[in-house]
A and B are shown apart, each in its own frame.
Chain A
Amino acid sequence: MKVAVVGAGPAGVRAVETLLAHGIRPVWIDEAMDGGGRIYQRPPAGMQRDARTLYGFEASRATALHAALDAAKARADWRPETLVWNIRPGQKQLNTLSQSRQGVVAYDAVILCTGAMDRVVPVKGWTLPGVTTMGGAQIALKSQGCGIGRRVAFLGSGPLLWLVAYQYAKAGAEVAAVLDTTPFATKLAAAPGMLRGPATFAKGLYYIGWLRTHGIRIAEGVTPLAIEGDETVAGICWRDAKGVEQQVACDAVGIGWGLKPEAQLADLAGIPFDFDDVQHNWVPRRDAAGRTPVAGVYLAGDGSGIGGAEVAELAGTRAALSLLQDEGRAVETAALDHKLASLARFRVALEKAFPFPAHLAVSLPDDALFCRCEGLTVGDLRVTTTGPTLPAPEMNRAKAVSRAGMGRCQGRVCGAAAAEILAAKLGCSVAEVGRLRGQAPVKPIPLVAAP
């Protein structure tokens, strides 16, 4: 049986480990130079830091995952630095690109573990050099030993905001401010549910407490106004919870509001998507065991709906077990299913504590740039609801008319905010405006004379 696993983050590692344990040697593909995914991304060879420094509280998990990764790499058909740019569910083929060479991988079953990226809301000035996603700021530090600047502000919401600010301060960067768009009261209201995940909750409190005791400027319930600067970031200004404008000087800003699935391959595989009200994301349809409506395609990890690294590991194992079950193998899943269900309940509380700030996208001025690829403004998108053509009733006509989502990133970066802006203008729900459909190639591939 030919099995392929796409992605070597927490979900992919555990899926491959499980397949190997049952005598299946999958083709295992990751776009990066090494496995580990984003959360447990390892620095390139030659870096000296130990796991404790790199991964903090997650050091033991990271070390265990890396051990499993290295063991599995040696036994699977491991193909790093390989982009899967298309999937053909009818033919059961993956189209790949590696070192400028095209390839085809045939499969009988495939597990897509394609991970997530930061969910962002445009802010005036967000295209200035010096602004990165929260995840980007973390990768710079973790994988490269660099801060995105000397004096860095962080703007957003969610666990990553506090974690990255803490990691920067610990590494010796000056943290100019931590600006949380979620009001304190919202987080407080969600606290009882958060206690379902006491370890995660405690870590969050630890980071916040540490930042406070080290005198770092913290503001909650803020409304971002602009990231300022000419050639590069010079400062950030916001309106505080009392409505007073504030400003701080900095040379870099990390922004992010949680994560969104990198689900383009699931889309091309023909899996239907549903709008998840709790996550406030479009997610590909799957059951709790990773099965999808498309024969032979399984999903696991954040690429199939945000659950975090711990869930991703379990879901990777579970998806591989589903594949084995569907092959008629007898496997034991009851304990795993129970654990996954329990973690899912904690996730609901976490999402309630850090809701996506749709209002920030909706209130962006017309002249704010929202699409980095095509240089489009919010006004360019809003005008699709009135003219010059038949008004856009949904996202894909808005795309056709405005070019939103037609750039190199295909709307990965601006899509979430674009949907909010359009929905507000149309007076309907964000689920009703639909989502940008994925198109091959999922990331740019070169035109070549001899494939």
Chain B
Amino acid sequence: MSGTRCDVLIIGAGGAGCSAALHLALRGSRVVLLERGLVGGQASGVNYGGVRQQGRNPAELPIARKSREIWGRMKALAGTEAEFTVTGHLKLARNDAEEAELIAYLDVAKQYGLPLRMVGRNALHGEYPWLGPKVLAGSFAPEDGSANPRLMAPALARAARDAGAAIHERTEVMSYAHDGALFHLRTVRGEEFSAPVLLNLAGFWGGRVAEAFGEAVPVKPLSPNMLVTEPMRYFIEPNLGVVGGNVYLRQIPRGNVIIGGGYGESNPGEPGEMPWSRPVPEATMEAARLAIALVPELEGAQIIRSWSGIDGQMPDRIPVIGPSSTTPGLFHAFGFSGHGFQLGPAIGAIMSELVLDGRTDVPLEAFRITRFAEAG
């Protein structure tokens, strides 16, 4: 058999893939990470940068808690904290129904040990005088914050490489096979890789890898629409979201305000094609309008860039995580449905535990790949 033989092959160098490579390499595994484009080039690198636990699907909270612990030691782990800053996350309600939803989530947070406090109508405008009059209430998660998505995956990749992992960028896998003991992958350029373990951490394209092993899932491309303003006076400290999620924004200490909301357009491409994504002007304008309603002082600030990317969205808005149902040695974690940036570091740790220990402390039942077939 020609080609490169290793212990673990990983497809996809997003945050999860780079973290998996790092965690496995640190424990002595020989890891090869294959990335079609560049590290962090899709959802991990171009997302909003929220490091948020508040408001998550309860099934994701144990992973989010585990990931938050890793975020707290990112500098030691990856050589840079990737601008991770604990600013708190303030989720806002703009009407009574939204306020009721915030209140209902307090119980969920309590159950999973997530610190969260309600900020009522009177206190809110006292604590955050720059909020607009249409904002009625908020809930504040003090442990949450944000980080720079452009840095996180390349930082983890650097640390993984330093720990011994091999990282191949611009290396698209064209064929997948399993001979009962080993996975055999062949790239567009004809290189061959084999290993007894394969991690499918390929974002939207993870659906194609799963399909190659006979377990197709209904994953769709998701392209959040993002924009950023010129630098302004720094005054918005917490990461801001709203019930329903139609707008979210944060300001970095350099002064730029990053605003997300709505969806761009994209094409994940056929194998061998370059995927593309781009923001949609109407979504950009609508996000701007909603952002000004939250923080009126933003009106008149200049938008200097907008962008989008491609993530995978599952019908139930939670990812697929766990072992394959068809092929021993294959593990999936994809379809993060826009929630992957904060979870990425823990996903890598969990993958390393599944591979090396055969188990993990985090309950993964809700994320099993067979759930769509069961429902169907």
A positions within 8 Å CB-CB of B:
86, 88, 90, 95, 102, 268, 387-391, 393-394, 396-397, 400-401, 406-408, 410, 439-441, 444-451
* Closest Cβ–Cβ distance, residue B310 to chain A (whole Å): 16
| CA distance in complex: A444, B288 (Å) | 14
| Of listed A400, A401, A445, A447, residue having the most chain B CB within 10 A | A447
Task: List A contacts of B304 (CB < 8 A).
Answer: 406-408, 410, 441, 444
* Closest Cβ–Cβ distance, residue B204 to chain A (whole Å): 20
The answer to whether B291 and A447 touch across the interface, beta carbons within 8 angstroms, is yes
| CA distance in complex: A269, B154 (Å) | 29
* Closest Cβ–Cβ distance, residue B160 to chain A (whole Å): 9
The answer to whether B305 and A389 touch across the interface, beta carbons within 8 angstroms, is no
B69: interface (CB < 8 Å): no
The answer to whether B292 and A449 touch across the interface, beta carbons within 8 angstroms, is yes
The answer to whether A388 and B155 touch across the interface, beta carbons within 8 angstroms, is yes
* Closest Cβ–Cβ distance, residue A12 to chain B (whole Å): 23
* Closest Cβ–Cβ distance, residue A142 to chain B (whole Å): 28
Task: List B contacts of A444 (CB < 8 A).
Answer: 230, 302-304
B79: interface (CB < 8 Å): yes
Q: Given A397-B38, A410-B304, A441-B306: A390 and B292 within 8 A (CB)? A: no
The answer to whether A387 and B300 touch across the interface, beta carbons within 8 angstroms, is no
The answer to whether A401 and B305 touch across the interface, beta carbons within 8 angstroms, is no
B293: interface (CB < 8 Å): yes
Task: List A contacts of B298 (CB < 8 A).
Answer: 447
Residue of B39, B40, B285, B302 near A451 (CB, 8 A) is: B285
Q: List 12 A-B contacts (CB under 8 A).
A: A268-B278, A388-B79, A390-B39, A390-B154, A400-B154, A401-B151, A408-B304, A441-B303, A441-B305, A444-B303, A447-B299, A448-B300
The answer to whether A389 and B157 touch across the interface, beta carbons within 8 angstroms, is yes
Q: Which of B17-45 contact A (CB under 8 A)?
A: 38-40, 45
* Closest Cβ–Cβ distance, residue A444 to chain B (whole Å): 4
The answer to whether A102 and B38 touch across the interface, beta carbons within 8 angstroms, is no
* Closest Cβ–Cβ distance, residue A349 to chain B (whole Å): 37
B158: interface (CB < 8 Å): yes
The answer to whether B285 and A102 touch across the interface, beta carbons within 8 angstroms, is yes
The answer to whether A390 and B157 touch across the interface, beta carbons within 8 angstroms, is yes
The answer to whether B154 and A401 touch across the interface, beta carbons within 8 angstroms, is yes
Q: How large is the interface on B (under 10, 10 to 19, 20 to 34, 35 or more residues)?
A: 35 or more
The answer to whether A447 and B288 touch across the interface, beta carbons within 8 angstroms, is yes
Q: How many A-B residue pairs have CB under 8 A?
A: 97
Residue on B nearest A410 in the bound complex, by CB: B305
* Closest Cβ–Cβ distance, residue A209 to chain B (whole Å): 45
B366: interface (CB < 8 Å): no
* Closest Cβ–Cβ distance, residue A301 to chain B (whole Å): 25
Residue on B nearest A374 in the bound complex, by CB: B254
Task: List B contacts of A391 (CB < 8 A).
Answer: 158
The answer to whether A449 and B155 touch across the interface, beta carbons within 8 angstroms, is no
The answer to whether A451 and B289 touch across the interface, beta carbons within 8 angstroms, is yes
Q: Given A447-B298, A448-B288, A449-B292: A388 and B303 within 8 A (CB)? A: no
| CA distance in complex: A86, B288 (Å) | 16
Residue on A nearest B307 in the bound complex, by CB: A439
Residue on B nearest A449 in the bound complex, by CB: B292
* Closest Cβ–Cβ distance, residue B358 to chain A (whole Å): 30
The answer to whether A389 and B154 touch across the interface, beta carbons within 8 angstroms, is yes
Task: List B contacts of A448 (CB < 8 A).
Answer: 285, 288-289, 292, 299-300
Residue on B nearest A104 in the bound complex, by CB: B281
| CA distance in complex: A331, B222 (Å) | 47
* Closest Cβ–Cβ distance, residue A171 to chain B (whole Å): 35
Q: Which of B257-294 contact A (CB under 8 A)?
A: 265, 278-279, 281, 284-285, 288-289, 291-293
Residue on B nearest A400 in the bound complex, by CB: B150
Q: Given A86-B281, A390-B167, A440-B281: A408 and B79 within 8 A (CB)? A: no
| CA distance in complex: A283, B279 (Å) | 24
Task: List B contacts of A396 (CB < 8 A).
Answer: 38
Task: List B contacts of A394 (CB < 8 A).
Answer: 38
| CA distance in complex: A325, B169 (Å) | 44
| CA distance in complex: A49, B219 (Å) | 67
Q: Given A387-B158, A390-B161: A449 and B289 within 8 A (CB)? A: yes
Task: List B contacts of A390 (CB < 8 A).
Answer: 39, 154-155, 157-158, 161, 167
Task: List B contacts of A389 (CB < 8 A).
Answer: 80, 151, 154-155, 157-158
The answer to whether B150 and A439 touch across the interface, beta carbons within 8 angstroms, is no
| CA distance in complex: A88, B45 (Å) | 24
Residue on A nearest B152 in the bound complex, by CB: A389
Q: Given A86-B281, A390-B39, A401-B150: A447 and B229 within 8 A (CB)? A: yes
Task: List A contacts of B38 (CB < 8 A).
Answer: 393-394, 396-397
Residue of A387, A388, A410, A445 near B302 (CB, 8 A) is: A445
Task: List B contacts of A451 (CB < 8 A).
Answer: 285, 288-289
| CA distance in complex: A230, B296 (Å) | 38
The answer to whether B300 and A393 touch across the interface, beta carbons within 8 angstroms, is no
Residue on A nearest B303 in the bound complex, by CB: A445
* Closest Cβ–Cβ distance, residue A397 to chain B (whole Å): 6
